[in-house]
Structure 1
């Protein structure tokens, strides 16, 4: 093999996957047909869950320093507020906001970290053909000077966007529909008295415009048109101002427009993410409405889901069927994404008078409900993504684990909480132990000396890919024993549904793989056997 992994496409998905493989010791080849990185793209919002996944490698901190934190999103219709979704209040994360950071800036941060690990982007290199064989994939590449190259790889990953050449070459069907609405978007400077950390949409009898702050003082706007009213030709400042005057805020003026584009929404998804030795990621696998700002985030999280699995398989530490869990887990996320963004788009862009009046009458009362706020913000921040039906989600079923009301289940995002060592008075966070590289086993309620021989034996062969920590109730005892932490407010026991004793295995991408009684040797072995981890 000339290389284990060839990644096609150096956007956010390809860069994230390359970074995850590089920090696990692989040397993927990353190509992109464009000679230079794109300067203007539609993606802007980075969600809480994406930032959590980017935290262990230091990328999140750098991105947060560059972006604008938006703590809430409001919706108005005919000048009246229909809803205000408060991320700062309802999102349980270190990042209780939407980070507004243009995609080129996100790509620049990712590129810097990829290059710091010894990776590089081969720009001006295009995939023009592929043929799968027993050993993997033979890919035909064409360079910017017209020269061609054949390369044999074990795995070829399509991160090449909505018009994916990889998807076309493997013959994947792209099933879905095109929305009737047309859209215009771009960047402007707004003359108004609105604080620079506010994002909101304004509706008026079928007209729609949304505003999102950007780090340089500009605002990204999105205008939606009824099919019969969509203008043709280039977007003008006069057109933008007409939309502002129709929807509001009253008296607002737009100036200095840059990067203006028209487009239509497609809602499409491939029927299969995994084609033998070819894997589809991000927009190559699913495209949808930009309402909700889920596209780039979902693609980056595709890459995180795939990264640790592909690394174990490529290094011979896991069976190839581990990649099947990527396909099944992320296909379900993609299906739900298309459904939810489609519903939101239909709700926001409805223009029939009776339906609009009903929406405007009901929405203010409904969206004030705590449960509705929780559901919307958790879904939008992507903290609600879970894999309960995954073969990698194993519930032990013991009466002593999982009986806590509202406790998470296997397949859910691992909750955070306070921990501290025996000699520390200031608590840290459980997430500080999750490095995104290795599995983590939390043993609740027992010290090291209380671990029985059977569990010690079961863990003996996992040392190369597993970190083990003991979590005890109460205040630190002053001893500072290695690998032993205290949960002073008992929140971790509650959130993981542990009454007295229990075991929780957390995957490298921060999702609960196994949850059960203390020890749980059988469940741990089942997980290891299915994944083929050695």
Structure 2
């Protein structure tokens, strides 16, 4: 697939968020450009963890086989006070997903996989190209792009998305406040090789003493990411290998030697949230919109999920389908409250882990024992990190469906649930997830034999924009799919391209379905819709 049209979107920033968004848009055939001021892709590991909800979204983009092959699946989290025997939390406990585990992949590799997928879709990242100015009006956004030869290009596009990180030029140009706090203290990190000791190469190690915190994350070939709280009064210069070795000797597992550092850095933790995610035809995603403590590995994941959410909505709008105000207003309404919760919880965990003194140590020891011994606590922690029970409770799209109720029950605003059905064409069992995540909505019809839940006259005009899957006595003979979605009788469930339940109901509640389809899938611009169909 190549693009020959003028770009409809300028994506500024080619990290995981920008690349995910670009791939999602290209699946809708949206012509775009993606630029990054860095002359080369990153070679550093940076963000490592990919959690379940992100993997589900990336699966729909066709990149998960490569990421799984490149990554390390975590089996356990081991938490200890100094060198006491650690409490062990099995990874993936309670995560209801096709990917019930965290996957550690160096960010450089994640980006390489996404860059390859984007190339398959006809787009190359433009390197060494920096946004140096931005103007906007009611009809378009204009980006001023400085190229490596010093020339400045003026590019006018219908939409511009800033995925350009915590120091976002897009956010600054839009004068959007980025309020929050800077936590006291300095963190250091190193990507190193570990020898000696007896570490599980599929486990994370978290330990603390009165001297401070130490965390170790594996990411293949005996290489590990080390995080530690820096001793006071050492400033913010990058650490030496010797400094990191001293932290391991005092705080970590015994007999470990650090070698071959490829990245050493020091940083202060900032917790900030953009005051808004959209200003007219300009939008923010990823670190340009939210930053927080690395505790829990949520930063890149929240950005990827921003991109999955925004990608289909912008794709619909640029295909001439749906009400642009409903679709684009729903992005901030859904994703900003989600990020606000992530920022707040990551900050709380960071402060709990960083506190010094015996009361804080005792509190952490108690929390570690509870987490290791109480399955409900293990489940709650990991499900929260996985983002599989995020429920969108606000915004115009949610209002079109029905009030959301409980996470994990297939209700409006929450994730669609996987289940097994029989393909009538082959007689073989399949997973429902394989039918979802396409660049269109999917309507699940739970029907009794010979009785259609939704009239054909409602569905026929939407051919090509709506996939329909009938789950009846032939395809769901044991009623597993119906039970999974907690339906006592015939009914329907509409699933968005980002795997979120858009609306649901019974045969007498078709007005809700019609209202959603009219607002989201009917042409808003017949000429544009015709071009998209062609």
Tell me the TM-score normalized by structure 2.
Answer: 0.92
After TM superposition, give the deviation of residue 503 of structure 1 in Å: 0.8
After alignment, is 61-70 or 388-397 more displaced? 388-397
Q: Is the 8 A contact 2:493 2:505 kept in 1?
A: yes
Equivalent residues of 2:391, 2:407 under 8 A apart: no
Tell me, in whole angstroms, the C-alpha distance in 2 between the residues paired with 1:140 and 1:220: 38
Distance in 2 (CA, whole Å) between partners of 1:40 and 1:104 is 6
Note if 1:510 corresponds to 2:496: no
Name 1:481's counterpart in structure 2. Answer: none
- Conservation of the 8 A alpha-carbon contact between 1:394 and 1:527: no
Match in the other structure for 2:532: none
Contact 1:176 1:268 in 2 (8 A): yes
Question: How far apart are the structure 2 equivalents of 1:234 and 1:102?
Answer: 20
Moved over 4 A (4+): 394-398, 423-426
**Following TM superposition, by how much is the alpha carbon of 1:236 offset from its aligned partner in structure 2, in angstroms?**
1.4
Specify the SS of the correspondent of 1:486. Answer: coil
- Please say which of residues 199-208 and 423-432 is displaced more in the overlay: 423-432
Contact kept? 1:396, 1:516, Cα under 8 Å: no
SS of the residue corresponding to residue 245 of structure 1 reads: helix
Is 1:472 the equivalent of 2:476? no
Cα deviation for residue 200 of structure 1 reads: 1.7
In structure 2, the residue corresponding to 1:181 is in which secondary structure? coil
CA deviation after TM superposition for structure 1 residue 263, in Å: 0.7
- TM-align CA RMSD: 2.3
1:438 aligns with 2:431: no
Asked if 2 retains the 8 angstrom alpha-carbon contact of 1:455 and 1:521, the reply is no
Q: Aligned ranges for residues 463-502 of structure 1 at < 5 Å?
A: 463-472=463-472, 476=474, 485-486=475-476, 488=478, 490-502=479-491
Confirm or deny that 1:17 pairs with 2:14: no
Could you state the TM-score of these two structures normalised by the residue count of structure 1?
Answer: 0.92
Matched, 1:420 2:422: yes
Q: Choose which of 511, 514, 521 in structure 2 pairs with 1:525.
A: 514
User: 1:153 maps to which residue?
Assistant: 157
Work out whether residues 20 and 304 of structure 1, in 8 Å CA contact, stay in contact via their aligned partners in 2: yes
2 CA distance for matches of 1:138 and 1:26? 18
Summarize the Cα distance change of 1:360–1:531 in structure 2 as closer, same or farther, 3 Å threshold. same
- Counterpart of 1:375 in structure 2 is 380
* Structure 2 counterpart of 1:348, from 353, 360, 378: 353
Task: After TM superposition, give the deviation of residue 405 of structure 1 in Å.
Answer: 11
Mapped partners of 1:492, 1:395: distance in 2: 24
Tell me whether 66-75 or 303-312 shows the greater mean CA deviation.
66-75
Structure 1: runs of 5+ lacking an equivalent:
477-484
Following TM superposition, by how much is the alpha carbon of 1:40 offset from its aligned partner in structure 2, in angstroms?
1.3
1:78 to partner: Cα distance: 2.6
Q: Are 1:202 and 2:207 counterparts?
A: yes
Q: 2:128 aligns to what?
A: 124
| Alignment counterpart, residue 254 of structure 1, candidates 258, 270, 292 | 258
Partner in structure 2 of residue 329 of structure 1 = 334
Q: Deviations over 1:414-447 (max 9, x none)?
A: 1101111236564210001114311001111334
User: 1:467-522 deviations in whole A, cap 9, x for unaligned?
Assistant: 1111135xx5xxxxxxxx2264x443233121122110000000001011136321
Partner of 1:295: 299
- Unaligned segments of structure 2, at least 5 residues: 524-534
Alignment partners' CA distance in 2, 1:305 and 1:407: 20
In structure 1, distance between residues paired with 2:467 and 2:184 = 51
**2: CA distance between counterparts of 1:277 and 1:397?**
28
Could you tell me which of 245, 249, 253 is aligned with 2:249?
245
Secondary structure, counterpart of 1:127 in structure 2: strand
Task: Give the equivalent residue in structure 1 for 2:451.
Answer: 450
Q: Secondary structure at the match of 2:397?
A: coil
Matches within 5 A, 1:17-36: 17-36=21-40
Structure 1 residues 29 and 232, CA gap change in structure 2 (3 angstroms): closer
Instruction: Note if contact 2:23-2:118 (Cα within 8 Å) is conserved in structure 1.
Output: yes
Are 1:361 and 2:396 counterparts?
no
Conserved 8 A contact 1:388-1:409: no
| CA displacement 1:335-370 (0-9 Å, x = unmatched) | 011011111111222213223213313541355322
Q: CA deviation at 1:396?
A: 7.2
Counterparts of 1:423 and 1:433, CA distance in 2: 14
Q: Name 2:530's counterpart in structure 1.
A: none
